[in-house]
Amino acid sequence: MAFFAELKGDALDAYKKTYQIVKQKAMKELNLSEDQIVIRPLRPEDLGLTNPAWRFSVTSTSAWNTLIDSKTIADNRFVGIYGICSPESTQLITQLKITRAGSDARIWNIEIASAQEDKTIYVDDPFTVDQNTTLTIQGYNATTGTNSSYQLIFLGVVAEKKGMVISP
């Protein structure tokens, strides 16, 4: 389930692609059938945030800010991210650098999000993070502004063994 007013076209393709990738990885690596896993929306807690809100401290100007710091994805869990929403009136973060298991996996220019009507962008190269793998996400603040509670929403899905978070 995704929480969009309308999920169609490229956005739907990005969601479907990510959904299938994490589903197949979970089934294969955990040796589980489709009815033994659940696929749910990504939560802030899945990426190591302490509260159920997509808020980050952006305090360094004209520099990289660490948003997610070496979070190890839980056992029996697979994460996929296919887009972001940047609802702040002043967009501080212009690029994201995603590091998976110590190697740069993606660098996304997200500055275009502020030009979108819903401030949301989807990518055609989603990234996934497997169970027990570390994830670091940095955001580049190209401005002289700071914000200790900057909202940047990661759009993604999680495939995991049923019962870890929910048991539908």
Give the pTM.
Answer: 0.92
Digit-coded pLDDT (tens) for 95-154:
999 999 999 999 999 998 888 889 999 988 899 999 999 999 999 999 999 999 999 999
Give the helix/strand (H/E) hosting 124: strand 120-129
Tokens of 94: 């212009």
- Give the pLDDT band (50/70/90) at residue 2: very low
Digit-coded pLDDT (tens) for 50-109:
999 999 999 999 999 999 999 999 999 999 999 999 999 999 999 999 999 999 999 999
Give the helix/strand (H/E) hosting 95: strand 93-100
Which of these ranges, 43-47, 69-73, 159-163, 164-168, has the smallest mean pLDDT?
164-168
Q: Is a pLDDT exceeding 60 seen at residue 4?
A: no
**The pLDDT of residue 45:** 97
The three-class DSSP label of residue 7 is coil
Looking at residue 12, the DSSP 8-state letter turns out to be: H
Domains of the chain with CATH codes: 9-161 (2.60.120)
Tokens of 7: 């999920």
**The pLDDT of residue 6:** 56
